Structure formats: C-alpha cells, structure tokens
Chain A
Amino acid sequence: MSLHVSSVAIEDDRPLLDLLPHVPDALAWVRDGEGLVAWGVAARIEAGRGPDRFRRAGQALGWLADDSAVEDEVGLPGSGLIGIGSFTFDADADGSVLVVPRVVIGRRGGTTWRTDLTPPSATPAPPVASSPPVTTPTRPRYAGSSLPDVHWLEAVARAIARIDAGEADKVVLARDHAVWSHEPFDAIDLARRLTGRFPSCHTFVVEGLVGATPELLLSRSGRSVTSRVLAGTTARSADEVEDAALGAALLASEKDLVEHRFAADSVREVLAPQCADLAGEVGPRLLRLDNVQHLATTFRGHLDDPDTSALELVGALHPTAAVGGTPRQAALEMIRELEGMSRGRYAAPVGWTDAAGDGEWGIALRCAELAGARARLFAGVGVVAASLPEAELEETRLKLLAMQAAFGADPVR
C-alpha cells in the first residue's frame, strides 16, 4: 500500500495561508478565503515532456490512488487524495510537476477539513502553524532581463510585421525581470500579500511559483465543467463615472473585442466537442477586479464522456490564445523565435486535481518564480495587427511594476 489518506472536518476559521508552517515545500490554491493549503511531500509526480504530460501526470496520480487506502469523511471537491501542480508552458521543457502533499487544509462553503496523506513508516509531518506569521517585506531589486527590453521592442515590431504578412492573427509576447534581494524571498509571505491585494483571484504557490490569477482555465466537478476566459483589459478608476467610462470603452474597443474573441474561440473549439450542451455567454461581459477590468466569457457544460479528466482537458486547452496566440502553432513558433527567453512555468496551467479527475486549473499569470534571494517576474501582452511596440512595452512595464509592488504591499485580511 502506498499512502494512507484520511480527510476529517476540523474547527478552524483562521485564514488558510496563516496555517502553513514555515517550510520550503508549502503549497497553496486559495481564493476569497477558501481553497487549499498544503505542505510536505508524500509523492512527487514528474510529468516529463510533451503535450501528453498533463494526461500522464493524472494517470500516475490515479495509479497512486489505486494503491492507497483513502478514508474521506468530508466528500467535498479537494478532500481525499489530491495533487497540486504546475506545468511548463513549453511542451519541450522539463519542470512539469504534480505534488501529493503530506498535509492538506481545505475550506469550501464554510467547511474546513484536514487531510493527512501518510506514506508507510514516514516521520511525522510538521504541525499547523501555531502563531500568526511574521511579515517582512523583501524589496526586490532589478537584476536584468533575459532579453534587454530594447530588443523585446524590436521583437514586437517583427511580430506585428509577421502578423501583417498574414502569418498569424495574434501572438502573446512576454518578457521577464530578474530581481534579487539581501534576504531570501518568502513564498507564503508573498502569497499573503497577493491575496490581500487581489482577493478575487486564485493565489497559488507551487514549488517557488507564486502568483494570483483571475482566469479559470478549467474546473471540473463530476461531469460539469466551467471555463472563464479573460482577454482584453483596461484600468480602473477611483472615480465611479470614470470607472464606468473605462469599462464602456473596453466593451466598445474593436481591438480588445477581437483579441477576446480569439481567446474565447480557442476555448470553445476544445470544449464544444467534449460537451454537447456547452453554453457560452453571448458576447463578453465586464469583469471588474481589484486593479483592472477585463472582458470575460464564461463557458459551462457537461462532459459527454464522464471519464474525461480535468487534466486531459487542460492539456487540450493549453496554450489558449490568451497565452499563445491564434492560430496556435504559428503563434508558438513566433514566440519561440522572437521572445528570447524560456517561460518556464509562467503562462501555463497551475492548480489541483484529485484521482477521480476533478480539479481546478488556472493559468500562471501575474506571478514570480522564487529561488532563494533571487526571483523572476513575468509580464506578457497580446500583439495584434493594430498593436504599437512602444505601447506594448509600456503595458509590460506597468505590469512588472505592479508585481514588484506586490512584494512590499501590506497584506490585508
């Protein structure tokens, strides 16, 4: 027998991220006070390379579950045996991983539970944190980019020329900021700051990848699936009238509507053959988040084949037009040729799955890859024929500044 798994309801209403002990292998997937935090490693599934890495990881989790004894008194999404993971953007890159933790604390619909996943003859896992965490802002200092931004500007200009020449309709180009500090960056501390700043986003922590994403790539619960596409963005304003005007302008912006349609179509094309009853909203609606407003389309449907897992769908969806482009293959080729960096796990699926194939997956945008006292921050933009290189550069500059500011922002609870 591989693991002994036991989920029981507990009484604890403290913020989930405050329950994490100070350990390097903390994991998190939280939003609006609910979700999962976890620590320790009961099993680590390295998914390898190739477009098949999503399905393989899910399959390996299934084998582990078949070989484990699971007692689940809770029966909510995320209880029982789960893996929390993140995948690489590039199918040819190493680093896609699904971690089966030793301890999970979950909360959903007001119920809090604890799952222990114990390998045979394992030493005890670290206990739940007993005291509130100490927060120490760690100022990130700039250390350079994979591609100097003046060359990135030229890459955007080349992408526009190639779009004009008919090679693709849209391509997403990203760039990175390497940062350093005197003290090691603390993933949980950053996660707490992000939840304070972006409470309606999913905040995630997976092996040093920390971020907050508003997008829901795919959630599956039994046969029912949901996907929320966000593409097309504008600012928010403290002034109510101006805020509404910004939103109205976004809903009327041809460039943003086209960009959004590419992203929504790329999700519809994958889900429609899987769900006969797939329904998307008519036209995007405005989703107002904490610091920006997006064009959003939510798809809902029921799987024709109940055995299709969340990870299989994630593998078919990735990369969507929101992180790759349209058409997909042409866009991926341009990214490889023009971007001048490895995306690692940026702009790729992050989330959790259980052995039955349920789970919730987002895309790791607005995130940082932490490694000791060093980190990499990322920002990307959708390039279309109407794009201007200097405007795209400015948009990534502002996104990178916002992410840097998040390191020092006060956590709010």
Chain B
Amino acid sequence: MSPPPPDEPLPADATATPPDETALDAPDAALAAAAVEDDAAVHDLDGLLAATGATRALLEAVERTGLLAPQQHPEDGSPRYSASDVAAVRAGMTLLDAGLPLGELLDLARRTDAAIQQIADHAVEAFLRFVRDPVRGTATSDEEAADRLITAYDRMLPATEQLVAHHLRRRLLTRAAERIAAELGGEHP
C-alpha cells in the first residue's frame, strides 16, 4: 500500500496502534481501542509548514521540546501531523503575531504541560475507579460492558475538554482583571 495523498484523510483507525489484545480482556481492550487519538494525521512536515506558515527551524525546536508530537506513518515511520496539530501550530502563530515572544510562549507551554500532566493523571484515575470499575462490576456481559464503557468515554472526553477550557478562560479573565485593577490602584496611572 502506498502512502495516501496528504489531503485525503486516512480512515480514523488506520493510524492507531492496535492495543495488545492478550494483556486486556474484551471490555478493557475495547476501551483502549477507543481511547486513542482519532484525528487523522494527514500532513508530512512540508504539509504542516505550508498549512501553518511556520518555519522548519521553529517547528523542529517546538517538536524537540515535546510540545508537538507527530504520529508515525504506519508504512515508513515518517512523522505525520493531524488537523488538530495544524490548528495548534496556527494558534501558537497567532500568539506570536500578536507580539508574545517565542521564548515566553515556550515557557508558558512548558508550565502548562507540567500542570496538565498531573491533572490528567488524576482524571484518568477517577475515570477508571469511579466509571469503569462500577460498569465492570454491574454489566451482565462483556459486550454490554464494552458498550457502556465506550459510550461513557465518548461523552466524558468532550465534556472534560469543555470544563477545562471553560475554567481556564474564566481564570484568565479573572486574573487579568485583578492584575489590571491592582496596577491602576497601586502604580502609575
């Protein structure tokens, strides 16, 4: 099979590494299969450069810091970038265009990554203990368990994303307002 043309999306599961079936029973295996990045990685590096206007030096630096993690092409192992990678790079470029220095953006990204990692661990732990385990304990068959787990996962992921985004936005606005008020009150007019 030759690599697909860059603008034709791969089928959603084509880029996913199949989970190791032997280590998991059926419902957990179904859950593991669902919980992979399902965003088709259609761009190679040149495609990403063209789609975002970023330079090679910039993207290579960002990738080395671990903030951009390409998937691997299933055939030749070359790095492949998804539509959400394109969107993320474009968002970064918007911040740079608005005047945020790259050094500060990378610093913020590193801090975000460190904070988010801890929260992600807690969120996964909460899902496994308080959603998966009860389902596994109450389902009457593996099929029913798999079905309920995938339904729960599909609903909870976007809901979690929405909650985090909402909270971050509210925090940003509140902190900005407090900070500006303090400068108006305390410092030079």
Contact = CB atoms under 8 A, between A and B. Distances in A.
Interface of A: 139, 144-145, 148-150, 153-154, 157-158, 182, 388-390, 393-394, 396-397
A157 B61 CA distance: 9
A397 B110 CA distance: 14
Interface in B72-116: 96, 99, 101-104, 106-107
A154 B64 contact: no
Given A154-B57, A182-B188, A388-B64, A394 B106 contact: yes
Contact of A394 (B62, B96, B99, B103): B103
B103 A397 contact: yes
Contact of B107 (A153, A158, A397): A397
Nearest to A155: B57
Nearest to A150: B102
B65 interface: yes
Contacts of B188: 182
A139 B187 CA distance: 10
A149 B61 contact: no
B104 A153 contact: no
Most buried by A among B60, B61, B188: B61
Contacts of B60: 157
6 contacts: A145-B101, A148-B101, A149-B101, A393-B106, A397-B103, A397-B107
B184 interface: no
Contact of A157 (B57, B99, B107): B57
A397 B104 contact: yes
A393 B62 CA distance: 12
Most buried by A among B58, B62, B65, B101: B101
Contacts of A157: 57, 60-61
A103 to B, nearest CB: 35
B55 interface: yes
Contacts, number: 46
A396 B55 CA distance: 21
A153 B61 contact: yes
A394 B108 CA distance: 12
Most buried by B among A144, A149, A388: A149
Given A390-B61, A393-B61, A396-B103, 17 more contacts: A148-B101, A148-B102, A149-B101, A149-B102, A149-B103, A150-B101, A153-B57, A153-B61, A153-B102, A154-B55, A154-B58, A157-B61, A158-B57, A388-B61, A393-B102, A394-B106, A394-B107
A182 B188 CA distance: 8
Nearest to B61: A390
A157 B54 CA distance: 14
Nearest to B187: A139
Interface in B35-70: 55, 57-58, 60-62, 64-65
A29 to B, nearest CB: 32
B65 A390 contact: yes
Contacts of A145: 101
Contacts of B64: 388, 390
B49 to A, nearest CB: 13
Contacts of A150: 58, 96, 101-102
Nearest to B56: A157
Interface string B169-189: 000000000000000000110
Contacts of A144: 99
A393 B104 CA distance: 10
A390 B57 CA distance: 10
Most buried by A among B55, B57, B60, B107: B57
Contacts of B104: 397
A182 B187 CA distance: 10
A389 B116 CA distance: 26
Contacts of A397: 101, 103-104, 107
A390 B106 contact: yes
Closest 4 CB pairs of A and B: A157-B57, A397-B103, A390-B61, A150-B102
Interface string B135-148: 00000000000000
